[in-house]
Amino acid sequence: MSELLTESSVTGESLQALHRELDFYTVEGQRIVVPAIHMKNWGDSSFAEMHGLRYSYMAGSMAHGISSVALVKAMAIEGFLGSFGAAGLGLHAVARAIDELQRDLGEQTFAVNFIHTPGEPLIEERLCDLLIQKNVRLVEASAFMRITKALVRYRVKGLQKASDGRIVSPRRIIAKVSRTELAKLFWAPAPLAILDALLSEGVIDSKEHAIAQTVPLANDLTVEADSGGHTDNRPLVTLLPQMLLLKNEMEAAYRYQEPLRVGAAGGIATPHAALAALSMGASYLVTGTVNQACQEAGTSDDVRKMLAETQQSDLIMAPAADMFEMGVKLQVLKRGTMFPMRAQKLYELYRAYPDIDSLPDKDRKILEDTYFRMSLETAWQETKRFFAERDPTQITLAEKNPKHKMALVFRSYLGQSSHWANRGQSDRKIDYQVWCGPAMAAFNDWARGSVLETVSERKAGYVGLNLLYGSAILHRIRSLQFQGLKRPEWEALAKPMAEAKLRSLLENGRHG
């Protein structure tokens, strides 16, 4: 069967034959059995049980609605968890998305992104108000560098004890971190100082205050390795084991009623990566960049095409809009866009000059002619209109501090660049900001020669099923290899399969 090296050459009959070979193998008269893995048990099934899912698999949030309502619905249909990309959107847009998801998904679980906004606490407070008002049961907390009152309020409000002593948590947090010091904060109870402040303000009552000291801020913590967008570029192979050791320490120290779990994100784009993460002990998998390349993502066909052509050398770090003044960077696509270089230039000018009026005439002209395509004064007026709705306190600060005013104007370019990309604004293609991690290049290589090489065939739920199924198959193949048995043609089973073929296998009990 050496010809069965690509998915396109695997017929239904030969596919079943390959599966039968994997069920058992006889050598020297001894039958070696490698049982199939039910994908429901792949990872930690308690994650799926806790959140009412079929599989321990999640599509992480991507800001500005890139992880769209359509993408979250697609994940829910397959029994996966989807997180709506609320970051960077106005509250009205977030509210509309929540309403639609609750209407169409009913009791099925979904998450909403709760992103840290340093310097703009009002944004977090308003989002917390909305999430509690809409009775959103789950959020994905990302980019947090410290624990904030708004996040604690979301978690703690409504905590109660059942008659049997069991703690009932109406709202839960899935935290996304890449540092052990932050993981400790999320796996510990909410800071007592914040709980005391909320109690004194009458935001929570004494019972909620007491119960909050016995539960972690988050049971589920996603370890984010080298990824698109905000990232510390950490390798999963070293970061995940560290977090697993820390988890054991925290469980021993606090003895919570419910277990702590570690998910894996960053680079999860092939069955090989999924198997590696699960084999190391990940409770659940989280994908990101690969979903942005799918049809349900809230981005443009231009971006999907750019992502489908991405190679490992096409990535670069560039200044982030939300943490611009702090010098924080995120990982983006550099091929086909000038955004990374222009964003870096803005940061260099911000560091070098005290205010907009101090900019050299040459640099000012370049900014007005090519970056903003308007005068910097007009750019400031548009920035003021934006913050009048988002956070008026920023305008007050800017009028008192010219350096802050310059930061807000420069951030407006960075913020709009991702919207231009999402809308596919052709006259701004050179300025597209496309968040992208190395997972995209790995996915493209794995998909080459299969149905998933075609951009129009990339659907988030279907991609997820292929990743889980392929990783389960690879586990069985490796088990045979460790016993000295190797058949190259088996690897064909881990290539992306056409949707109908994969669903047929799953319906017939072939779970890997």
Comparing 196 with 118, the larger pLDDT belongs to 196
Give the pLDDT score at 309. Answer: 96
Rounded mean pLDDT, 129-157: 97
Comparing 19 with 131, the larger pLDDT belongs to 131
CATH for the 57-296 domain, from 3.40.50.850, 3.20.20.70, 3.40.50.2300, 3.40.50.300: 3.20.20.70
Q: What is the pTM of this model?
A: 0.91
Distance CA 494, CA 15 (A): 11
Per-residue pLDDT of 265-287, as tens digits, reads: 999 999 999 999 999 999 999 99
Give the pLDDT score at 4. Answer: 28
Q: Where in the chain is the domain with CATH 3.20.20.70?
A: 57-296
pLDDT at 28 over 70: no
Comparing 254 with 486, the larger pLDDT belongs to 254
Mean residue pLDDT across the chain? 92
- Residue 51's pLDDT band (boundaries 50, 70, 90)? very high
Give the pair of three-digit tokens for residue 311. Answer: 């190679």
Cβ neighbours of 116 (radius 10 Å): 22
Q: Is 243 helix (H, G, I), strand (E, B) or coil?
A: helix
Where does residue 312 rank: exposed (0-12), middle (13-18), buried (19+ CB within 10 A)?
Answer: exposed
Give the pLDDT score at 11. Answer: 47
Per-residue pLDDT of 254-267, as tens digits, reads: 999 999 999 999 99
pLDDT at 166 over 80: yes
For residues 363-377, b (16+ Cβ closer than 10 Å) or e, as one string?
ebebbbeebbeeebe
Strand blocks (E) in 40-132: 57-59, 81-84, 111-115
